[in-house]
Each structure stands twice: as structure tokens, then as C-alpha cells.
Amino acid sequence: MQKMTVAQARQPQSAGEHVRLQGWIRTRRDSKGGFSFLELSDGSSVGNIQIVAEAALPNYESEIKHLSAGCSVTVEGELKASPAKGQATEVHAKAIAVHGWADPETYALQKKRHSFEFLRTLAHLRPRTNTFGAIARVRNCICRSIHNFFQEEGFLYVHAPIITASDCEGAGEMFKVTTLDLANVPKTSSTVDFTQDFFDRPAFLTVSGQLEAEIFACALGKVYTFGPTFRAENSNTSRHLAEFWMVEPEMAFFELADNMDLAERFLKRIFRDVLAQCPDDMQFFNAQIEPTVLSTLEGIIGSDFVRLSYTEAVEILAGSGAKFEFPVAWGHDLQAEHERYLTEQHFSRPVILCDYPRSIKPFYMRVNDDGRTVRAMDILVPRVGEIIGGSQREERLDVMAERMREQKLAPEAYWWYLDLRRYGTVPHSGFGLGLERAVQFVTGMANIRDVIPFPRVPGSADF
């Protein structure tokens, strides 16, 4: 008797084995001939395995004939080649033990299909559905691929803090971390007295591990962080979360073009790994969720990303004749509709946009010789828009100080960051990939809330 996963048992070469399988019933169908077919799932693959349970089993009438979706069981039996189409094997049960019942009157996952909105209210049950099982496996594959890529390239994995005093993006979209009694906040005349707070100053959840990654890159060369990040922006869109995971490589002696090359290779590696390691899940997404995911990923792996300056992009958009909700003008940030026009309609490929106006990008980006633009790069992909944001960092102390004044940041608060420019400064670059945007793009899922196990968005943090 061999304990197996459903994924292993579904392999044609497993036929003939005596196996023990454990999981949850998806469906039961009783045949007139006095036996039942059970579909068993254990999360190891998107496909289930069929169990044939004969009436001669001792608990056939008392238990097996009452099994329904969600019941948990151990099945022992013989794996045989299946005559049914769509499955190589099936199990002829010798024994079925029931661990837990799931009352069909109240168990929510009875129907074959539920809307994703409905399933969002059942974050504790949705991993049991085909779609969310497949997402969990693909998300895991992407994370493994991220680590493999950077480890093979000689990067060190460093851990940035989650609680921080600095606002990396300077956008003021931070969650405060405090132990002060909110009903009785200590004050100094007009403002809150943070010297009485836990950290002796205002503290926040990090929006990015970049600044800390720069510290390590400027000592160790090539590093990456990969962890949760938080944004208190009140955007209720299908592409924004208040808590999301970001992977941020940071490299000393990398200029913007090196940064772009790395990011392009990195994304292609992730897509290749998912296609190779999750073929069944990807077939599922292509068939059930978005019929272009496979062809899009295959196309991207085999072609070069477009590289284009912000200024050229504005010219293309302004001359496109397309109707946009937000007008296009040099100096304004591009909106999702503009980004998607470029990557979906105009180029039908991923686009790396660079050299954005200095006024719309954070203080840490390197100012170009034209004085008007900075060495930023955003990578745009069809359906999702911006998937990566990055830049070459400003390594000149005087220019950095000027940029901080320009953006009304207090240099005292960033003394340690300025020290990196004061002592042994080097050109360096990095970028951030939003993990959920990557999962969204790969799977074709329309809403980012469905590609993270427990989504946090304005007004909702139930589980």
C-alpha cells in the first residue's frame, strides 16, 4: 500500500499500484448497477481522481451513499487504467473511511461554479475550489522561480523591515503603527507627542524595502528583498491591494540599461518556469479564465520587450486618435488606460517606459543630463498595465539633496541614506515587481483580490 497524492495517482504509469489517497469529495454519482463514482481532490492538481465504490463495501449503504461535496475521506484501493475519457486512471476502492461530514444543507460549495465576488466572502473555503487551488499552485511556482532566478544569479536575499520610519515612495500612503491609546492621545500643545509612543517617533508599515536594499547593495553588490508591503491609498481598483508582496532586487554598478536587461530576463524566466512546471493549471486558466494567457506568455518569451521613453510614449498617445478619459500631456503621470493602450493596442507586447518627468517621480531617481527627466523605468504588460517599477538611483549627494528639498523631505530624517552617497557612492539601480500583478498577469484573473490568499482592501480585512 502506497500513500499517493491525486496528482501522482493520475499518472498513467501508476496503474496497477495499491494506493492510499486522502482528500475531499467533490461529487458523488450513483450508478444503477449498485455502485458509486466519487470525485476526490486533495489540492495536488487541478484534476480530480475518480473512485469506484462498489455496494459490497461494508459501509456502502451507511456512509458512502451519503457522501457529498466537502466530506473528507481516506480511500484505499487499486489504481487501474480508466476506460472513461479525460482521465488515465481510476481507483477501485477496497475501503473508504470517512473523517468528516459536510452537511449539504449548509455547506456553501455545492454548486460547480460560484462567482468570484461570492467566493471573496468565503476566504476560508475558496482554496477548495479548482480556480483557487490552481492560483495557489501557480503563485507558489512564481515565488520559487523568483528565488531560483536571483540565487542562480548570485544575489543575496536580505530582509527589509516591515516597520519603518521613512516613506520610500514619498507619496504619504502609509499605515501608522502605534501603541498610543487612541481615545487619549498624548499631545504637545497642538500635535501628537510621539515621544510617548512605542518607537519614540511616528512609525509606519513599509511601502517598499528599497531604501534598506540600497544599504546592502552598497556593501554586498547584488541583493534582493521579497516581502509584504503596504499602501494606504484609497484606490478600489482591480489592480490595487492595501497589502501586497513585492520582490525588489538592488544592484551596485548597474545603470538603467542593465536594470532593464535584468528585469526582462527575470520576467521571461518566471513565465517559462510557470509554463514548464504548471502545465495543467495553465491549461485550466486558458480554458476557463482567459483564452489568451498561454499564447501571450509564449509570445513574450520569444520576443524582445519594446523600450521607449516617456516623451515618445506621450507623442504616440497624443497622436493615436484614441479617446481617453484622462487627457495626455507631457508632465502628467500616465493613467492605466494610457499604459494599456501602449502595451495592448499599439505594440501588443510588454513595453519598458523610461525617462519620466522628474516632477512625477520619487526623490531617489537619478536625474538625467537634460535636467527635466529621471532614469525611471516602468514595465507595462497587456491586461495588467504596470507590473514593474524601478530606476537608476541618484548617487550624487548634491543632486539628491536638491531633489529632497524639491519634494519637501527633511534631509535629517534620511541622514543614513545620504551617507551612502557621502561615503563610497556608486551608480546603482533596482526595481520592484508586484507579486500579485505577476500572478494576475500569468493566470488571467481579472481581479487582484483573487490572486492573494487573504486580500486587504479599503473597508475589508475580514479573515
Residue 390 binds what, of Mg ion, ligand 4AD, none (CB under 5 to 8 Å, by partner type)? Answer: ligand 4AD
Q: How far apart are the first and last CA of the chain?
A: 39
Kindly state whether residue 386 participates in binding ligand 4AD, applying the rule CB under 6 A.
Answer: yes
Q: Tell me which stretch binds ligand 4AD (CB under 6 A): 43-51, 94-102, 241-249, 328-336.
A: 241-249
Question: Which amino acid belongs to residue 143?
Answer: C
> Contact region for Mg ion (CB under 5 A) — 163-171, 312-320, 388-396, 436-444?
388-396
Q: Using the minimum distance from each CB to ligand 4AD, give the nearer residue, 57 or 384.
A: 384
394 binds ligand 4AD (CB under 6 A): no
On whether the CB atoms of residues 194 and 202 are closer than 8 A, the answer is yes
Residue 435 backbone zone (phi > 0: left; psi -120 to 50: alpha; other: beta): alpha
- Helices of type H across 253-321: 256-277, 279-288, 293-301, 310-318
CA distances from 406 to 390, 400, 402, 409, 413 (A): 20, 10, 6, 8, 15
Question: Are 432 and 208 within 8 A, CB to CB?
Answer: yes
List Cβ neighbours of 232 (8 Å cut-off, separation of 6 or more): 173, 174, 175, 242
Given 158, 437, 440, 443, the residue binding ligand 4AD (CB under 6 A): 437
What nine digits make up the cell of 353? Answer: 517606459
389 lies in the binding site for ligand 4AD (CB under 6 A): yes
Cβ–Cβ < 8 Å for 209, 229: yes
Stretch that binds ligand 4AD, among 44-52, 77-85, 141-149, 236-244 (CB under 6 A): 236-244
389 lies in the binding site for Mg ion (CB under 5 A) = yes
**If contact means CB under 5 to 8 A according to the sort of partner, which of Mg ion, ligand 4AD, none does residue 437 touch?**
ligand 4AD
Going from the C-alpha of 44 to that of each of 87, 221, 282, 327, the distances in angstroms are 15, 39, 14, 48
402, three cell numbers = 536638491
Region from 186-194, 197-205, 313-321, 386-394 binding Mg ion, contact rule CB under 5 A: 386-394
Kindly tell me which of 209 and 389 has the beta carbon lying closer to Mg ion.
389
Among 248, 264, 339, 394, binds ligand 4AD (CB under 6 A): 248
Query: CB of residue 301 vs ligand 4AD: minimum separation in angstroms?
Result: 20
Closer by beta carbon to ligand 4AD, 231 or else 268: 231
- CB of 169 vs Mg ion, minimal distance in Å: 8
Give the nearest distance from C-beta 121 to ligand 4AD in angstroms: 21
What is the nearest approach in angstroms of ligand 4AD to the Cβ of residue 452? 9
Which range in 2-10, 37-45, 181-189, 426-434 contacts ligand 4AD by CB under 6 A? 426-434
**CA 429 vs CA 162, 254, 373, 420, 445: distances in Å:** 22, 5, 16, 14, 31
Residues 40-99 that bind ligand 4AD (CB under 6 A): none
Distance of alpha carbon 54 from alpha carbon 34, whole angstroms? 7
Name the residue nearer to ligand 4AD (CB basis): 18 or 265: 265
Contact with ligand 4AD (CB under 6 A) among 131, 145, 206, 208: 208
Please, which residues have CB within 8 angstroms of residue 332's CB and are 6 or more apart in sequence? 326, 360
Q: Which is nearer to ligand 4AD, 36 or 208 (CB)?
A: 208
Q: Which amino acid is at 247?
A: V
Residues that bind Mg ion in the complex, under the rule CB under 5 A: 389
Q: Which residues of the shown chain bind ligand 4AD in the complex (CB under 6 A)? A: 168-169, 208, 210, 231, 240-241, 244, 246, 248, 386-391, 430-432, 434, 436-437
